[in-house]
Amino acid sequence: MILQNWWFTTLLGINEPICKPVNSDLKSDILIIGAGAAGLSAAHYFIGKGLKVIVLEKNICGGSSSGKSAGFLTPDSELELSQLIRRFGEAGAKDLWSVPTKGIEMMKSYILNYHIQCDFQVQDSLCLGIGRSGWNAIQDEMQSRKALGFDQVLYNRHEVQTIIGSKSYTGAVRYKGTYGIDALLYCQGMKKHLLENNIEIFEASEVISITDHCAKTHLGSVTADQIILCADKIDPALSHYADNIFHAQTFLSISEPLNDKMIELIFPGDRFQCWDSDLVYSYFRLTGDSRILLGGGNMLTTFSKDDVTSSRVIDKVITDFKKKFPQLKNLRFIQYWPGRIDTTRDLLPSILKDPTAPWLHLVLGCVGLPWATFCGNFAARHSIETKLQNDQHYYHYFRSDRHFLIPLWLEKIVGKPLAFSINNGWAKYYQKDTVSAN
């Protein structure tokens, strides 16, 4: 198994050109820094608005988290619905759940309207319980979805075996409106559409400083009326809001293609996108060319400071997966890759206008492609037309000075990995925010 992002391998068949780096001093109405799901969605908002828009991307469009991701488009990310209800009540949870739900609809409409070839798959979500606690978690999720008036189907231990070829699960909840994509091809497809609509994109253009309205790269600069920062793993030199962001690491692997008989054994019901109820959960789905995309991690590496690149973590995920699906014991996984997902202390994003420089908009720590897509669009809309927007209140949920269990000063003593793991756990399992949506 080689250490290589499979989605980069799939780029070999496409014709999209690489955009040249910026190498002069430019001026624009809008500058977007970072071209992952968030930055691309922000740029998309300005199409047809008669503004000069420039995107600066350090790598290629989608070259960081978005283009490493498993491409599950589901509103379920690190924060489950039952956890949001505990934290924000039913109304608040519904309000927040609509963020990734709208993000999914936006991505789907871009893909279908612009004919983006990104292995778009309609895949129902199947959240699988493991053990008694997993069955309890599945029932919680079921109750939460019911309480908010959503559609879903519950499967008990016996029933779940009719739709998934394993005896290891104690139940499942299934719901529709979710999709699978090759997110790197999606980003490259969005790039093509933006270029065709007069958005200027510079790849290989890392912003190294932002002073006043001017962002500098190694070779040039852009001075803009409004700057929208959608970058990941930001350096504190670029913005002190870097303090608010850390990351969680996960691993992915891709198999050889399965034949129809094997697929029928694993997915007798439907070709679901699945994840399980373990604390560090595993997730899997089929790609359009019938490969298993399998992801997971472990407790030790999730919050490690740097990328762990050894195959040991994913080897264990694959071994456990094969125990659940012994029919696949001879299936070979051919590539694996790690990726760090930017996150805040409580797993909700940080979206703000810098109070000392109100032309600078920050979109940071979006966990999940749908979240990033909505948040990029949100920041873009509010950068030029705040008065016309009716969702101003999201700034309150996503403000950077919200309450966290371990405050910044204590984090400086215990260190980011420990502080973030405790804060993330607290947000998922205990936190209650009685006043957040005011």
Ligand X SMILES: Cc1cc2nc3c(=O)[nH]c(=O)nc-3n(C[C@H](O)[C@H](O)[C@H](O)COP(=O)(O)OP(=O)(O)OC[C@H]3O[C@@H](n4cnc5c(N)ncnc54)[C@H](O)[C@@H]3O)c2cc1C
Binding site for ligand X (CB under 6 A): 33-39, 56-59, 63-66, 68-72, 206-207, 230-232, 234, 238, 250, 252, 295, 339, 341, 366-370, 372
Q: What is the DSSP letter of 52?
A: -
Neighbouring-strand partners of residue 361: 228, 353
Nearer to ligand X, 68 or 170 (CB): 68
Nearer to ligand X, 93 or 204 (CB): 204
284 within 8 A of 125, measured Cβ to Cβ = no
Tokens of 142: 């079921």
Cβ 215 to ligand X, closest distance in Å? 8
Helix (H, G, I), strand (E, B) or coil at 155: strand
Where does 208-331 have alpha helices with state H?
260-266, 299-302, 312-324
- Report how far residue 130's alpha carbon sits from residue 192's, in angstroms, rounded to the nearest whole number: 43
Three-state SS string over 36-63 comes to: CHHHHHHHHHCCCCCCCEEEECCCCCCC
- Report how far residue 174's alpha carbon sits from residue 204's, in angstroms, rounded to the nearest whole number: 41
Cβ 340 to ligand X, closest distance in Å? 6
Nearer to ligand X, 72 or 135 (CB): 72
Q: What is the DSSP letter of 238?
A: T
Cβ 7 to ligand X, closest distance in Å? 10
Cβ 130 to ligand X, closest distance in Å? 19
Helix (H, G, I), strand (E, B) or coil at 389: coil
Nearer to ligand X, 37 or 53 (CB): 37
Cβ 413 to ligand X, closest distance in Å? 28
Nearer to ligand X, 237 or 418 (CB): 237
In this structure, how many other beta carbons lie within 10 angstroms of the beta carbon of residue 355?
Answer: 7
Neighbouring-strand partners of residue 343: 246
Residues in the chain: 438
Cβ 271 to ligand X, closest distance in Å? 15
Cβ 144 to ligand X, closest distance in Å? 20
Burial class (CB in 10 A: 0-12, 13-18, 19+), 395: middle
Q: Which residue minimizes CB distance to ligand X?
A: 36
Using alpha carbons, select from 341, 374, 370, 377 the residue that is nearest to residue 179: 370
- Report how far residue 210's alpha carbon sits from residue 437's, in angstroms, rounded to the nearest whole number: 31
Cβ 312 to ligand X, closest distance in Å? 16
Nearer to ligand X, 127 or 135 (CB): 127
Residue 418 belongs to what H/E stretch?
A: helix 416-429
Nearer to ligand X, 78 or 140 (CB): 78
- Please report, as a single letter, which amino acid is at residue 429: Y
Helix (H, G, I), strand (E, B) or coil at 89: helix
- Report how far residue 255's alpha carbon sits from residue 1's, in angstroms, rounded to the nearest whole number: 9
Nearer to ligand X, 59 or 143 (CB): 59
Nearer to ligand X, 68 or 345 (CB): 68
Cβ 186 to ligand X, closest distance in Å? 10
Cβ 154 to ligand X, closest distance in Å? 23
Could you tell me the maximum CA-CA distance found in the chain, to the nearest angstrom? 65
- Report how far residue 181's alpha carbon sits from residue 342's, in angstroms, rounded to the nearest whole number: 20
How far is the CA of 237 from the CAs of 23, 242, 352, in angstroms? 22, 9, 18
Cβ 112 to ligand X, closest distance in Å? 18
Nearer to ligand X, 26 or 369 (CB): 369
Tokens of 437: 């949506």
Nearer to ligand X, 4 or 133 (CB): 4
